[in-house]
Amino acid sequence: MTERTVAVGFLHPEPLGRPIRAGDPRTLGRPSTALLRDAIERNDVATARALLEYLPHEEKFVYDLNRDDAWAWMTYVADRWGEERIFELNWLVFTAVAGREGRRRLRALPVDEQVALVAEMMRGHRSGPRDAGSVQVVEEPDRFVMSFDPCGSGGRQRRGDPVDGTAARTEPPFNYGVTKRAYDWSWNRAGVCYYCTHCAIYDEMVGIAEYGTP
């Protein structure tokens, strides 16, 4: 059997509650997208469909873990040094060179390309029900309105994860923190999860400081 025609199999470990790709160890390191392309080219509909259904799980684990890690670190900082430090932490990160360059490139695009790029980002952000990457974009006379219910990070964390069957991150065993007071960097509200405050800081405050608009 050649590498291009390798059989793709899946295991379903009960503790995970989701499939993992299995098969010949020589092919486990091949990208699933490459196997999907191979299946399409040889008209193997069943394998292509199985890989399409599996791919979101493959991307989800590390993506979600990184977001949970970020909220956990913010909770640690708040508990150890005070939640006011959350603003300083985010500001330091988002005004670094990489953050500035990303904002510069985005603002250099025409509006329609900015909308397309941000929609791409939010689809990749796994927004919408069950991490499907669904985003609603509506053009109004003076703006574009983009909605996602929920977003794929803070929204999933606050509500709990129906795909993985895990609890809201404010509940045990996570117990991640929320603002105890209202701050300008928490939309002047208490009870905002520390992770979500990065949206107010990055998407609004940093842009205003650098360009005069969010």
Look up residue 181 and give its two tokens: 């007071």
Output the six-digit token pair for 62.
């590390």
The pLDDT value recorded for residue 4 is 53
Report the pLDDT value the prediction gives residue 1, as an integer from 0 to 100: 45
Confidence band for 102, pLDDT divided at 50, 70 and 90: confident
pLDDT 10s digits, 176-197: 999 999 999 999 999 999 999 9
pTM (predicted TM-score): 0.87
Question: How far is it, in rounded angstroms, from Cα 38 to Cα 35?
Answer: 5
Q: Which of these, 190, 191, 174, lies nearest to 182 by C-alpha position?
A: 190
Residue 132: DSSP 8-state? -
CB atoms within 10 A of CB 76: 13
Average pLDDT over residues 60-65: 90
- Asked if residue 146 lies in contact with residue 136, where contact means CB atoms within 8 angstroms, the answer is yes
